[in-house]
């Protein structure tokens, strides 16, 4: 290994350390920090962000990358991938002033704390001035980059490298009518009963049961933990420290189980990253869509499958005998897959979930273009919910304030949720080709073969391959909706007798 490559890895390792320290502070803000600490926390994040930015955009890094591009000739090697991705990150970071990075950290830290207050009081006006500042900074961020086919391309590329807004819109435009058609067919069928899911359940027992499930999945507690937070999420400090958060909802108590499965899916992806990539730009997931494919796979394709219910439901019934008295495995399976227009994205069913995402994408594009003013968002949100799902939120908390992403400055993010659904189905078809008895294994509570397949085909590669290349390598095609449509149609035709 050359001295130049050693030196580059040394600097990038320090940048990684700083970024992970930021993640620790962000995790603490969600899990432990008192509200009064928000201003100081914003300053702390700003300082770390500024130092990391300055270090990663130094002349030395630029010169090392330029020299190493010609020195490393094996294009499929880890070192070549490191140089390629580090160079891309460098070129992007060079366009963004350190002062802007610091300001954004302060603004989003305040916005996050205000979002919590606004959501608690269901009052968008509390959050509005902070979101206006966030949107202003998002537009300023876009201005640092060369004009793209669409200004939103710049934001999308941060989360889904190489993907264009027009591509996502085309995929969604083709997918939307198929999902709407399926929903209409379901609405004309006899609705399933799910009243037993909304009874009173012990929070501790639900929490413990969720942890038992993800332990069987393969989430390694020696390298992770689960804590309470206002919004479930997963965060990584290293390949040996990848954490999840969860919450308990009184009106929807068993959603805690599925949030645990979802976030564990993210975390197991990170735990499966090649340890050799630690403290380099190769570590972690290749994109948010691929990341989301892992969480949605464990939550839905595994966790809401009939074989999974056949394994776990008897134990769940023992844990909650009064709540599940008289409920059969098949009834439980149908209930957890009930299709019904709902207000909250994270609790929505598989058939309607993507419509929630499409709505948010439309609003984000509108804000970026200046077509939608922040002050009008509650009204626009409610109108779009009516158009997309036929329901209107009764308040801001269940409407425009339900997601944390905008408070954190994460615009360009939402479409990756729906793209992740598509990737999960593409991978699932390939997995079932390779693991012929997968249903039987799940029915027996055996998940090591599935996790091993994902480790080998997806997790170990981390960021070495761009998302479209990785999906192509594993499934034979780029991101496409066909497999997901097949999955939904078959599943819900069986459940609703279509």
With 0-12 / 13-18 / 19 or more C-beta atoms within 10 angstroms meaning exposed / middle / buried, residue 184 is exposed
Give the strand order in the sheet containing 234-238.
226-228, 241-246, 234-238
C-alpha distance from residue 472 to each of 341, 349, 423, 426 (Å) = 33, 28, 10, 10
Question: What string of DSSP letters covers 117-166?
Answer: HHHHHT-HHHHHHHHHHHHHHHHHHHHTS---SSTHHHHHHHHSTT--HH
SS3 243: strand
Q: Give the span between the Cα atoms of 296 and 487, in whole angstroms.
A: 13
Q: Give the span between the Cα atoms of 202 and 208, in whole angstroms.
A: 10
List phi, psi (to 5°) of 243: -110, 160
| Contact predicate 332/309, CB 8 Å | yes
DSSP state of 397: T
- Which of 223, 222, 220, 308 lies closest to 258, judged by CA? 308
Query: Which tokens sit at 483?
Result: 């497999």
Containing H/E element for 312?
Answer: helix 306-319
Q: 224 CB contacts (<8 Å, ≥6 apart)?
A: 241, 242, 243, 244, 267, 271
Q: Where are the alpha helices (DSSP H) in 397-481?
A: 415-434, 438-443, 448-457, 467-475
Task: Provide the annotated active-site residues.
Answer: 263
Count of Cβ atoms closer than 10 Å to residue 493 Cβ: 14
C-alpha distance from residue 262 to each of 36, 233, 293, 325, 348 (Å) = 31, 9, 10, 27, 13
Q: Give the span between the Cα atoms of 108 and 115, in whole angstroms.
A: 10
């Amino acid at each position: 290994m050359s001295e130049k490559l050693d030196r580059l890895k040394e600097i990038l390792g320090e940048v990684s350390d700083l970024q992970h320290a930021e993640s620790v502070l962000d995790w603490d803000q969600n899990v432990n920090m008192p509200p009064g600490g928000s201003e100081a926390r914003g300053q702390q994040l700003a300082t770390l962000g500024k130092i990391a930015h300055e270090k990663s955009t130094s002349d030395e890094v630029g010169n090392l990358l330029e020299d190493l591009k010609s020195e490393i000739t094996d294009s499929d090697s880890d070192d070549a991938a490191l140089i390629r991705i580090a160079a891309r990150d460098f070129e992007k970071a060079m366009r963004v002033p350190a002062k802007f990075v610091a300001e954004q950290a302060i603004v989003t830290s305040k916005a996050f704390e205000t979002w919590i207050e606004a959501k608690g009081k269901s009052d968008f006006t509390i959050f509005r001035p902070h979101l206006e500042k966030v949107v202003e900074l998002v537009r300023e961020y876009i201005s640092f980059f060369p004009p793209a086919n669409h200004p939103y391309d710049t934001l999308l590329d941060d989360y889904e490298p190489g993907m264009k807004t027009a591509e996502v819109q085309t995929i969604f435009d083709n997918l939307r009518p198929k999902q709407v058609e399926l929903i209409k067919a379901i609405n004309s069928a006899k609705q399933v009963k799910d009243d037993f899911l909304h009874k009173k359940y012990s929070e501790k027992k639900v929490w413990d049961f969720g942890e038992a499930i993800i332990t069987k999945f393969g989430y390694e507690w020696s390298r992770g933990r689960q804590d309470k937070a206002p919004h479930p999420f997963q965060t990584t400090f290293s390949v040996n420290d990848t954490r999840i958060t969860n919450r308990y909802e009184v009106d929807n108590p068993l959603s805690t189980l599925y949030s645990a499965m979802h976030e564990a899916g993210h975390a197991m992806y990170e735990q499966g990253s090649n340890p050799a990539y630690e403290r380099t730009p190769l570590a972690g997931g290749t994109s948010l869509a691929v990341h989301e494919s892992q969480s949605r796979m464990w939550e839905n394709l595994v966790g809401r499958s009939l074989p999974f219910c056949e394994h776990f439901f008897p134990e769940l019934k023992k844990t909650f005998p009064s709540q599940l008295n008289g409920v059969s495995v098949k009834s439980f399976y149908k209930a957890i897959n009930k299709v019904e227009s709902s207000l909250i994205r994270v609790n929505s069913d598989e058939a309607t979930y993507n419509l929630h995402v499409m709505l948010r994408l439309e609003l984000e594009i509108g804000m970026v273009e200046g077509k939608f003013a922040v002050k009008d968002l509650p009204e626009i949100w409610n109108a779009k919910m009516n158009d997309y799902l036929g329901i209107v939120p009764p308040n801001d908390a269940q409407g425009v304030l339900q997601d944390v992403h905008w408070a954190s400055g994460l615009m360009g993010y939402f479409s990756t949720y729906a793209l992740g659904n598509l990737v999960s189905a593409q991978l699932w078809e390939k997995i079932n080709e390779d693991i012929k008895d997968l249903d039987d294994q799940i029915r027996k509570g055996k998940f090591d073969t599935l996790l091993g397949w994902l480790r080998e085909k997806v997790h170990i590669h981390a960021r070495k391959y761009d998302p479209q290349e990785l999906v192509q390598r594993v499934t034979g095609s780029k991101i496409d909706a066909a497999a997901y449509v097949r999955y939904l149609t078959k599943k819900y035709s069986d459940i609703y007798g279509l």
